[in-house]
Amino acid sequence: MDNAVDTVRKRAASGDAEAKFALAGLLDGEGRHDAAAEELRQASKTGHLGATASLGERLLTGREAPFEPAEGAKLIAAAAERGHADAMAVLATLAGAGAWTGQSWPRALELLQKSAELGSRDARTQLALLAGDQARDGSVVVDETDPAAWRRLRESVMLETWVKPPEPRQVSEAPRIWTAEKFTTPEICAWLIGRGRGKFKPSMMFDGQRSTFLATRTCSDFAFTIVEGGVLLVLLRIRAGLLTGLATVQMEPPQIFHYSVGQEIKPHYDSVYDGEHSYGQTGGYQGDRLATFLLYLNDEYEGGELEFPKVGFRYRGKTGDGIFFTSQRGGKRDILSLHGALPVTGGEKFILSQWIHDRPFQA
């Protein structure tokens, strides 16, 4: 094994692009992500397609590389132009979101189709889920040997119908709370859980200035990037925006929270701005969380109810159900919005959380 690694390192040092691409993986395994990104950069300069796509994704998200989204988008576009299937799926997501490229849903779905035709498992799964959600039965049989199958799936997706949310039902006026049954299908919920598998980390609490570990929050979480969310999550966020009446530009990156037996979040407020201390990457952001949307990704667990202790309200949704509530009233924190997640007593719980601010989110 050591000899094989030494060989890769020697070949990479000599300028071999394929060896540099392989070495990047080895360096990542050692936790040397900056060095891995540099190897990818060097390999990409020689035209290595896999390195170009991989580096592009890293720069887009700032994970295990500098956050340089404009450069990352250029690399993704270059890899997609040369036929890299997974890069094409990422470009489809960027086109749907209008992120670092022109916004166009027809182009997004066409790119997703082409990616599926080139063999991208991710693109094929997303297309099937988009078509399955359209029918609201979650079941779509695809003959992957049929070259026209992906085109037919893409043509079956009617976006205006797809993003239409169920009718919300208000269940509380103080605090203001609404539920939305069957917001999405169990199949899409399972797909979202799968995107987070192996990536969950112990949850931290953000107080408006810094994130810290607290004994009151014992679950774990995973925050999506635009790459990991895919076309599906872009559309789900649009659906959530139409449900709540709030714009997607006001939304933080969504997260999945995972609770094992005994894990919980003690009662807390989602609002974070104290009215005095600005925050965010530039230090000048003064926005605050206006509302919270939660999507239940499974229901094979015991306990774990959402509780609003000041008003004695508890809720537990079924797989695919949504609930949202406001954190402010009259421009100030709504003290009745205090809420928590009770301990899970059996199984494991997965829930997607989408915080929505009172202005375009820039923190």
Segments of 224-319 assigned E as strands: 255-259, 265-268, 289-296, 301-303, 306-308, 313-315
Please, what are the domains in the chain? 2-126 (1.25.40.10), 169-357 (2.60.120.620)
DSSP code, position 315:
E
Residue 47: which region, alpha, beta or left (left: phi > 0; alpha: psi -120 to 50)? Answer: left
E strand or H helix at 44: helix 33-45
Q: 17, 14, 80: which is closest to 47 by C-alpha? A: 17
CB 226 within 8 A of CB 182: no
Q: Which amino acid is at 194?
A: G
Whole-number mean pLDDT of the chain?
93
pLDDT tens digits in sequence order for the chain, 363 residues long: 566 778 888 899 899 999 999 999 999 999 999 999 999 999 999 999 999 999 999 999 998 899 999 999 999 999 999 999 999 999 999 999 999 999 999 999 999 999 999 999 999 999 999 998 765 555 566 778 888 999 999 999 999 999 999 999 999 999 999 999 999 999 999 999 999 999 999 998 776 667 777 888 999 999 999 999 999 999 999 999 999 999 999 999 999 999 999 999 999 999 988 888 888 878 899 999 999 999 999 999 999 999 999 999 999 999 999 999 999 999 899 999 999 999 999 999 999 999 999 999 988
pLDDT on residue 75: 98
Extract the tokens encoding 80.
């997609």
Residue 37: CB atoms within 10 A of its CB come to: 20
pLDDT on residue 320: 98
pLDDT on residue 8: 87
pLDDT on residue 146: 85
pLDDT on residue 216: 87
CA distances from 112 to 194, 195, 232, 339 (A): 19, 18, 11, 39
pLDDT on residue 204: 81
pLDDT on residue 170: 98
CB 33 within 8 A of CB 64: yes
Specify the pTM: 0.93
pLDDT on residue 144: 80
pLDDT on residue 348: 98
CB 306 within 8 A of CB 341: yes
Q: Coil, helix or strand for 65?
A: coil
CA distances from 155 to 128, 133, 233, 335 (A): 12, 14, 19, 48
- Give the integer Cα–Cα distance in Å for 206 and 191: 27
